[in-house]
Amino acid sequence: MPDSRHPSDCSRCQGLCCVYPAFDTSEMFGLDKPSGEACPHLGNSYRCTIHARLGPSGFRGCELYDCLGAGPRIIALPEFAGRSWRDDAPTATAMFSAFRALKQVHELAEFLVTAGKLPLSTEQRNQAAALTAELDLDRDWSGQTLDAFERSGPALRIRAFLVSLRDAATRAHE
């Protein structure tokens, strides 16, 4: 369930999802691609040159992928204004690191929303609400704050809380 406040808008991105993630030849991807190397189908304008035929071309994984709005948010960060991952290695490294981290923030937010649909106790609901507020998806992120967040208490607490919901998730599917 993508967050409507931060849509995945490829027109406002630089194809970060076509560069940062690695993938192996499989039924989902038609070739091997290491992390940090641009997919050969990524054009100079940061658009996929086979987008209209991804599935038939062997790229079903690309059809299913959703950055959850992390890509456009990274490109819009002031520290990356007017810059591209194509500029130089340090810029690429910083953008890819921020992209990975912000995608995880968006995933945690999505997981908390999904958790709210489980049969939770009042205490668990209160904890989910407190963690959602602590996550503060709309904060002004930067590469530095994203890096710090990955190792922070809130990120660890959210992950631990989500793992603790195993019984509630099992009850929801009975």
Q: pLDDT digits over 109-150, tens only?
A: 999 999 999 999 999 999 999 999 988 888 899 999 999 988
The boundaries of the domain holding residue 100 are 10-172
Q: Is 91 helix (H, G, I), strand (E, B) or coil?
A: helix
What is the pLDDT, as a whole number, of residue 105? 93
Confidence (pTM): 0.88
Answer yes or no: is 4 within a domain. Answer: no
CA 15 to chain centre: 13
Answer yes or no: is 3 within a domain. Answer: no
Answer yes or no: is 97 within a domain. Answer: yes
User: pLDDT tens for residues 33-54?
Assistant: 999 999 999 999 999 999 999 9
Q: With the C-alpha atoms ordered 129, 131, 134, 137, is the resulting torsion angle positive or negative?
A: negative
Distance CA 167, CA 145 (A): 33
The count of structural domains within the chain is 1
Answer yes or no: is 101 within a domain. Answer: yes
